């Protein structure tokens, strides 16, 4: 995933716009089916009862049991079994919770800290060499408070290569965090973050620009029993 993953506007009919305007069907498209309602908002289509049961079993087992098992292989192979895509040399530390496992895609050599929360019901795609520190939250969508049915609105989120998100940050739904960007600890990100931008605060604002020459490391972190 050496190129930026996308402009986060997903074309549900067949891919996402690439840098040359062509549709790129790459890994950012959520693996579950989304459709647009009469207002143009993304919602999950009805899925089979068997798939619903499988999804629910995976979520309950992982979030209540497997996430606390002190083995990287056990945790990640369980997630793969229930539909997540996880690259090589990636670690997801204990206590992390995931909603809709099959909506999560993580690249190679990423480091995910303790007790993170990924609401992947709208789809979350993370590139290579990404560091997400402990207690970071990814929000999967929101509710339409003007609709009498108060429906959930799902939005896909994309994090490009070499992004660093520091502890206790909150990433709202539907955002694109560009290659090499940095999000300061305890920040709330409500807008897209450009490549190499360093942002922080509530809401997050640009603070500086990162040196592009720094984007050469491999943040592999898989200590025993973590």
Residue with tokens 């190499």, as numbered in its chain: 196
Q: Are 127 and 5 in contact (CB under 8 A)?
A: yes
Using alpha carbons only, give the angle 99, 45, 18 rounded to the nearest 5 degrees: 80
30-214: CATH number:
2.160.10.10
pTM as predicted:
0.81
Tens-digit pLDDT profile for the chain (226 aa)?
A: 444 444 433 333 333 333 333 333 333 444 555 666 665 565 556 678 888 899 999 999 999 999 999 999 999 999 999 999 999 999 999 999 999 999 999 999 999 999 999 999 999 999 999 999 999 999 999 998 998 989 889 999 999 999 999 999 999 999 999 999 999 999 999 999 999 999 999 999 999 999 999 999 999 999 999 9
- Confidence at residue 54, expressed as pLDDT on a 0 to 100 scale: 92
User: Hey, what are 204's tokens?
Assistant: 């997050």
User: Hey, what are 56's tokens?
Assistant: 């629910």
Among 95, 64, 100, which Cα is nearest to 79's? Answer: 100
Name the residue ranges covered by the structural domains of the chain: 30-214
Residue with tokens 């603070």, as numbered in its chain: 207
């Amino acid at each position: 995933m050496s190129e930026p993953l996308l402009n986060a506007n997903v074309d549900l009919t067949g891919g996402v716009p690439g840098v040359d305007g062509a549709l790129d069907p790459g890994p950012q498209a959520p693996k579950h089916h989304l459709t647009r309602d009469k207002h143009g908002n993304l919602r999950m289509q009805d899925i089979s009862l068997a798939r619903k049961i499988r999804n629910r079993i995976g979520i309950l087992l992982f979030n209540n049991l497997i996430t606390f098992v002190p083995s990287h292989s056990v945790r990640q192979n369980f997630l793969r079994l229930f539909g997540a895509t996880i690259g090589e040399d990636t670690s997801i530390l204990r206590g992390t919770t995931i909603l809709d496992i099959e909506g999560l895609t993580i690249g190679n050599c990423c480091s995910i800290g303790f007790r993170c929360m990924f609401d992947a019901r709208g789809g979350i795609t993370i590139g290579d060499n990404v560091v997400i520190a402990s207690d970071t939250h990814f929000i999967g969508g929101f509710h339409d408070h003007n609709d009498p049915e108060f429906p959930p609105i799902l939005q896909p989120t994309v994090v490009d290569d070499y992004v660093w998100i520091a502890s206790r940050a909150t990433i709202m739904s539907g955002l694109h965090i560009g290659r090499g960007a940095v999000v300061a600890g305890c920040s709330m990100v409500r807008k897209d973050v450009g490549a190499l931008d360093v942002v922080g605060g509530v809401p997050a604002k640009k603070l500086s620009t990162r040196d592009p020459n720094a984007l050469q490391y491999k943040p592999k972190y898989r200590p025993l029993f973590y």
